[in-house]
A and B are shown apart, each in its own frame.
Chain A
Amino acid sequence: RKEVEQDPGPFNVPEGATVAFNCTYSNSASQSFFWYRQDCRKEPKLLMSVYSSGNEDGRFTAQLNRASQYISLLIRDSKLSDSATYLCVVNGGGGADGLTFGKGTHLIIQP
């Protein structure tokens, strides 16, 4: 079983729409969760951390469900500039204390 699983997409979404995607993780001992964003041929950059109580940053909302071991990301009023690959990241997965990255969900915002 893969440690961090994401739907690779692509998700083709019209500008202004709301889009949501999930990520599941296998290690119940994981304690830290993040969403990173990666643009084509660029390095990953932190989008937001995911807290147990859920958190919001502008148009972005992240939720954590420990019982079901999944994390979600919601993007409201999507912009063309949101087009990217979104990586779900969990600690305590692969290495003793390293981060485990999902393969990413590819999002394309269409005008």
Chain B
Amino acid sequence: DAGVIQSPRHEVTEMGQEVTLRCKPISGHNSLFWYRQTMMRGLELLIYFNNNVPIDDSGMPEDRFSAKMPNASFSTLKIQPSEPRDSAVYFCASSTTGGTYNEQFFGPGTRLTVL
């Protein structure tokens, strides 16, 4: 059974470019989470969806970041324009309903480098 799928696995881009990260949650999971991990700040929750609806986006750093979940099997995190300080590993995770009480399954992450 496939786990959470993320693409691309690695992304190198130049400052000012648009970056789109993609996630396919585990089938049947109702909650989806986007995290960012850096050495300095650790793992930070950016936004999470429940039944495709954004529930809490208070962790989104600024307007340059946006996330969508058009259906139960796909979500995107977009950064436009990207900046060097956005360099990090971005994880997507999914869970059954009530995700903060149940196990979250993480994807392999997208390692983003903004030059």
A residues sitting closer than 8 Å to B (CB atoms) are 31-32, 34, 42-46, 49, 87, 91-92, 94-104
Contact = CB atoms under 8 A, between A and B. Distances in A.
Given A43-B108, A96-B55, A97-B56, A103 B101 contact: no
Interface of B: 33, 35, 41-45, 48, 55-56, 58-59, 91, 100-101, 103-104, 106-109
8 contacts: A31-B101, A32-B101, A34-B103, A45-B106, A46-B104, A92-B100, A97-B100, A98-B56
B59 A98 contact: yes
A92 B98 CA distance: 12
Contacts of B42: 101-104
Contacts of A96: 55-56, 58
A71 to B, nearest CB: 16
**Interface of chain A, main secondary structure:** loop
Given A43-B108, A43-B109, A98 B100 contact: yes
A104 B109 CA distance: 18
Contacts of B106: 43-45
